[in-house]
């Protein structure tokens, strides 16, 4: 495969060179791992949690006797899928000798059956698991964690999109996992997810199984000056000149939300312009919004009028404060406070808006900029 040469990745982690800062957060996570503590990592979607986890794992890559496993729980819908996913990404990666590993696993497990599967894209072999219909979640998890303990290595497991377990039809997953998490001597965990309030209540509410068991880390935007300098340097590295002022223009327009900043920088970089100026950058912003326009029109169809006007009102304020106040309602023709309340709840449930320090924002930065226009 051709090497990716754009220094602004927009999909996955591409190594430390294209990763900006996060030094404090990286050190904090490493320190927790070294000292045997688990961490819960939350932020807005697309702010950089997954990237940070991979960056931390990159630092651990060559540590002898230590292994790290990244697991995305987002696609899982049940305890059976959780167990298969967990098995695949931990047990299935313990030994590069797949045949030997398979034999050992097959001997050890009762309801979990390993088999070799070839990746449809790369052709590389990997181990997948099937689970007998009459499996017992507790028993299977117990076997997985016992096997991992027996490996004698120090393990770090990142469970990304951890709030997904609350969507399973089985409602005891939180309590079930907790006993294994707490009982594991040589396994440290990072729980990560975008539903800050949900994850925080899992780990903060008395009476919830994970109460007070973790360090909490809330990931904010990358610091303005550090990110601006990083962007300028990456352009300079390819003999292009982007002024600090223009890098800051991008950061501000993208509200410092990592994914959106990366996307604009990626697009700008791909244009091969020696010295993009303010005019060129402003035009790029408009082009990106235009491309997304069909999606936005579709949102328009899916929302009620009141929801749409509220969304627009919030976007135009750029951090709306009194959305139930008379002034805001009048300006945006929103009806009564109680109808605003209903619309607000609906938009929040759809994750189209979020609240931060008493101010409301449209979650998708580009949609927000388009609505402002």
Site residues (vs Mg ion, CB under 5 A): 49-50
Q: Residue 154 pairs with which residues in a beta bridge?
A: 66
Q: Please, which residue, 148 or 158, has the CB nearer to Mg ion?
A: 158
Among 22, 67, 89, 256, binds ligand ADP (CB under 6 A): 22
Chosen from ligand ADP, Mg ion, none, partner binding at 45 (C-beta under 5 to 8 Å by type): ligand ADP
Q: Please, which residue, 19 or 57, has the CB nearer to ligand ADP?
A: 19
Q: Apex CA 89: angle with CA 51 and CA 4, to 5°?
A: 40
Among 147, 203, 259, 360, binds ligand ADP (CB under 6 A): 259
Q: 155's torsion region: left (phi>0), alpha (psi -120 to 50) or beta?
A: beta
Chosen from Mg ion, ligand ADP, none, partner binding at 48 (C-beta under 5 to 8 Å by type): ligand ADP
What is the C-alpha to C-alpha distance for residues 45 and 257, in angstroms, rounded to an integer? 9
- 53, 205 in Cβ contact below 8 A? no
As measured in angstroms, the least distance from the Cβ of 53 to Mg ion is 8
Q: Apex CA 64: angle with CA 62 and CA 124, to 5°?
A: 60
What is the C-alpha to C-alpha distance for residues 213 and 182, in angstroms, rounded to an integer? 8
C-alpha dihedral (81, 137, 199, 299), degrees to nearest 10:
30
Q: 125-131 and 215-218: which strand pairing?
A: unpaired
Binding of residue 47 to ligand ADP (CB under 6 A): yes
As measured in angstroms, the least distance from the Cβ of 158 to Mg ion is 10
| Residue 320 DSSP class | B
Binding of residue 141 to ligand ADP (CB under 6 A): no
As measured in angstroms, the least distance from the Cβ of 298 to ligand ADP is 22
Among 10, 30, 216, 273, binds ligand ADP (CB under 6 A): 10
Chosen from Mg ion, ligand ADP, none, partner binding at 22 (C-beta under 5 to 8 Å by type): ligand ADP
Q: Residue 165 pairs with which residues in a beta bridge?
A: none
Binding of residue 234 to ligand ADP (CB under 6 A): no
Smallest CA-to-CA distance from 48 within 9, 89, 101 is with 9
Chosen from ligand ADP, Mg ion, none, partner binding at 9 (C-beta under 5 to 8 Å by type): ligand ADP
Smallest CA-to-CA distance from 48 within 34, 35, 29 is with 29
What is the C-alpha to C-alpha distance for residues 274 and 240, in angstroms, rounded to an integer? 5
As measured in angstroms, the least distance from the Cβ of 190 to Mg ion is 12
Q: Please, which residue, 105 or 158, has the CB nearer to Mg ion?
A: 158
Chosen from Mg ion, ligand ADP, none, partner binding at 313 (C-beta under 5 to 8 Å by type): none
Span near ligand ADP by CB under 6 A; candidates 81-89, 91-99, 254-262, 275-283: 254-262
Binding of residue 11 to ligand ADP (CB under 6 A): yes
Q: Please, which residue, 154 or 258, has the CB nearer to Mg ion?
A: 258
What is the C-alpha to C-alpha distance for residues 342 and 193, in angstroms, rounded to an integer? 26
First to last CA, the chain: 40
- Contacting residues toward ligand ADP, per CB under 6 A: 9-11, 13, 19-22, 43, 45-51, 222, 258-259, 262
């Amino acid at each position: 495969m051709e090497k990716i040469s754009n220094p602004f990745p927009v999909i996955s982690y591409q190594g430390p060179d294209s990763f900006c800062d996060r030094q404090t957060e990286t050190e904090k996570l490493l320190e927790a791992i070294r000292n045997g503590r688990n961490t819960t990592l939350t932020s807005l979607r697309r702010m950089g949690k997954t990237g940070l986890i991979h960056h931390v794992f990159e630092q651990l890559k060559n540590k002898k006797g230590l292994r790290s496993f990244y697991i995305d729980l987002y696609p899982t819908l049940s305890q059976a899928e959780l167990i298969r996913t967990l098995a695949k990404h931990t047990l299935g990666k313990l030994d590069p000798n797949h045949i030997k590993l398979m034999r050992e696993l097959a001997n050890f497990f009762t309801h979990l059956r390993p088999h070799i599967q070839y990746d449809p894209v790369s052709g590389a072999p990997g181990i997948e698991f099937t689970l007998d219909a009459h499996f017992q979640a507790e028993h299977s998890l117990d076997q997985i964690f016992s096997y991992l303990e027996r490996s004698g290595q120090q393990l770090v497991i990142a469970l990304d999109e951890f709030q997904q377990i609350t969507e399973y039809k089985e409602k005891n997953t939180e309590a079930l996992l907790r006993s294994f998490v707490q009982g594991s001597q040589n396994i440290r965990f990072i729980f990560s997810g975008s539903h800050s309030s949900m994850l925080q209540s899992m780990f903060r509410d008395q009476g919830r199984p994970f109460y007070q068991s973790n360090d909490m880390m809330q990931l904010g935007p990358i610091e303005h000056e550090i990110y601006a300098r990083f962007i300028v340097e990456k352009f300079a590295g390819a003999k292009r000149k982007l002024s600090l002022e223009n890098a800051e223009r991008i950061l501000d327009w993208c509200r410092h939300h990592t994914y959106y900043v990366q996307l604009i920088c990626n697009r700008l970089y791909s244009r091969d312009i020696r010295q993009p100026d303010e005019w060129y950058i402003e035009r790029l912003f408009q082009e990106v919004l235009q491309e997304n326009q069909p999606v936005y029109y579709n949102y328009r169809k899916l929302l009620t009028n009141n929801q749409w006007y509220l969304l627009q009102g919030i976007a135009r304020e750029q951090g709306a404060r009194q959305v139930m106040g008379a002034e805001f309602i009048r300006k945006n023709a929103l009806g009564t406070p109680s109808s605003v309340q209903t619309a607000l709840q609906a938009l929040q449930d759809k994750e189209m808006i979020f609240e931060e320090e008493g101010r409301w924002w449209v979650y998708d930065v580009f949609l927000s900029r388009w609505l402002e226009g």
